[in-house]
Amino acid sequence: MIVAVLIATVVGRPAWSESAAPFQAMFRDRQPFLEAIRREKPVQRPQAQLTGITVPHHLLAADLIARGFWAASASKVDRVILLSPDHFLRTQRPFATSTRSFRTPFGTLRPDLPAVTALLADAELFEESTLFAQEHGIGALLPFVAHFFPRAAIVPIAISVQATRAEWEQAIPRLLPLIGARTLIVQSTDFSHYLPLQTALQRDQETLNILSANSVDQVAGLRQSDHLDSKGAQYIQMRLQSLIGASGPIVIASRNSHQYSRIEATTTSYIVQLFSAKPDELAGLQYPDQKVVYFGGDVLLGRYLTPPLLDDDARRAILSEVRRVTGGGPLIVNLEGVALDEPPPGLPFDLHVMPSGLATPMLKAMNVVAASLANNHSFDLGEVGLEETVAALQKVGIKPIRHGEIADLGAFRLLALNFISKRQISGFPTVEDGDLAKICQRESRPPLVAFVHWGREYSRQAGDAEYDAASQLLDCGVAAIIGAHSHKAGAGVESVRGGAQQITFSLGNFLFDQNGTVATGAILELRVFEQGTFATRFIPIPNLYDLGHNKLFERVRSPGGEQTSSERNKAD
């Protein structure tokens, strides 16, 4: 807010009157806006249809404002609901709005009079106000609205910083009828304020963990302005998006004013969020100031999966589904078993053994860059089998991560841990009493993420033992825990201890020979930003084992089904 106030002071206080004349432009020079829009113009125009965005209102971060609007630029929009804090405490009601137009450097934006009038009908909640002439939470965004959606009518809403959760809830049924298929909710919010850089990054990560968990209850518990300048705007945005069936928030930027000004003593932070009813369209959103990696759960590329993986059509169907979610991005999985060049015949069914010639090409085709071997099956053939698996992965450029190892993956460090014991096998690698204390003594740069094998099979929720382990890992500096082993995907991301840590209990099965009647799966998107903060997105996926077998059976049942895919390709 400091920078925006300084800009407003330099530009001068805009003139306005009590009449119905349009509010004058708060910022009259279009060049700074055009420059920010030009800098953030994507190589390929986004195709996603968005229902909401969250952007800063400090023009210091004008490029991030442009990033959010570019992400929404393919959306068909005829109404913009603009949520802003009332920075200068001008409204006498919980919410203020206006029936007046707004002049911008890109033309005049008209109000959506029926929508605004409907809000003003609730005089206890909403008042007509002239505060918008000086409110930079609105004024800084209007040029972007006018540039990207010049024909859209606007519903400006300033939210009192003193409004209560009960009042936010009262506003939701008033706003919900205003949201149609061509409505975009634009939330104008800056995040941590006035804090030293390191404290700001800590508060921002707490906020990001809560956003990743999509928890409105925890948003209501954040501190204003240590975490953000309008809890009300964030809460209302998330509640409305949930009610219309949209996914999010999906964070595509996390940055601090220090990256612009180099000032560390007192800073402001910025987070850009997207909401969409079609989140599958967002896999391709990539930016140079971040690294995006995907995590998949249990993988066993053998046994009953062998027939579909040997069939060209079935294998392509599986790969297509994976790429639909990841966009071909790097993937990390929990490899549940032993990869051998020549598996010996007659091995017991409960031993997880995969032919390297089948497993490693499939892993590479999915762009697997690292595989955790910290589980209860990578030691099925003892140390010799584990070493051969490590060699097979290294041969094709996949990083194997053993139990207890911390791998440096550039944007973050990854700790692999197995909590599931097989005490009948001598030397089996698992967490024993006192092991976590030893891990705490190891130095590792943040962010530190743990990929763990834990919990009860076929459970979707963490138990007391898992929460106790997570607490110990948090004290060791582990900011996020990603789980596997249960064969069922958990409910999503959970934020614990006030946002200090996030836990994804289980990703279930990624590619494993169990059908959808017993197993489910999910992929976790991890987006690590240049400053070291990160956000995650939990993405349910269909059962890939069923997908491959169904594709295989379709061919077998079709006329001429006895012909293999490779034979058909040759015939073509």
Digit-coded pLDDT (tens) for 101-125: 999 999 999 999 999 999 999 999 9
Q: Are 483 and 490 in contact (CB under 8 A)?
A: yes
Q: What is the pLDDT of residue 425?
A: 65
Q: What is the pLDDT of residues 140-194, one digit of tens each?
A: 999 999 999 999 999 999 999 999 999 999 999 999 999 999 999 999 999 999 9
pLDDT at 4 over 50: no
- Find, among 507, 506, 437, the residue nearest to 469 by Cα: 437
Residue 433 confidence (pLDDT): 82
With beta carbons less than 8 A apart as the criterion, state whether 213 and 502 touch.
yes
pLDDT at res. 15: 35
Share of the chain above pLDDT 90, in %: 82
Kindly provide the b/e burial profile for residues 101-124, where b requires at least 16 CB atoms within 10 angstroms of the residue's own CB: bbbbbbeebebbeebbebbbebee
pLDDT of res. 11: 38
* Across 247-258, average pLDDT: 96
Over 80: is that where the pLDDT of 560 sits?
A: no
Q: Choose among 207, 195, 192: nearest CA to 263.
A: 195
Average pLDDT of 206-227?
A: 97
**Confidence band for 561, pLDDT divided at 50, 70 and 90:** low
Q: What is the pLDDT of residue 406?
A: 95
**Alpha-carbon distance 35 to 350, whole Å?**
61
- Length of the chain in terms of residues written: 572
Residue 158: strand, helix, or coil: strand
Count CB-CB contacts under 10 A for residue 98. Answer: 24
- Which is higher by pLDDT, 543 or 556? 543
Share of the chain above pLDDT 70, in %: 93
What is the Cα 398 distance to its own chain's centre?
Answer: 25
Region at 421 (left for phi over 0; alpha for psi -120 to 50; beta for the rest): beta
Confidence band for 443, pLDDT divided at 50, 70 and 90: confident
Confidence of residue 423 (pLDDT cuts 50, 70, 90): low
User: How do residues 121-149 score in pLDDT, each as one tens digit?
Assistant: 999 999 999 999 999 999 999 999 999 99
Q: List the domains of the chain with CATH numbers.
A: 2-20+35-282 (3.40.830.10), 290-553 (3.60.21.10)
Q: Using one digit for the tens of pLDDT, what is the confidence trace for 39-59?
A: 999 988 788 899 999 999 999
State residue 565's pLDDT score: 42
Which amino acid type is present at position 412? F
Answer yes or no: is pLDDT of 568 > 80.
no
For the segment 272-280, the average pLDDT, to the nearest whole number, is 92
| Number of C-beta neighbours around residue 427 at 10 A | 8
**Averaged pLDDT, 204-221:** 98
pLDDT in tens, 454-505: 999 999 999 999 999 999 999 999 999 999 999 999 999 999 999 999 999 9
The per-residue pLDDT for range 25-34, each reduced to its tens digit, is 888 899 999 9
- 18 pLDDT band (50/70/90 cuts)? very low
Mean pLDDT confidence for 76-94 = 97
Question: Which residue from 544, 298, 543 is spatially nearest to 420, judged by alpha carbons?
Answer: 298
Q: Which contiguous run of DSSP H or E holds residue 204?
A: helix 197-212
Higher pLDDT, residue 20 or 313:
313
Higher pLDDT, 7 or 282: 282
The model's pTM? 0.92
Average pLDDT for the chain: 91
| Segment 421-432 mean pLDDT | 75
Distance CA 69, CA 42 (A): 11
Average pLDDT over residues 564-569: 40
Distance between CA 510 and CA 415 in Å, rounded?
20
Closest CA to 509 of 262, 295, 268: 295
Q: What is the pLDDT of residue 388?
A: 96
Q: How far apart are CA 521 and CA 191, in angstroms?
A: 33
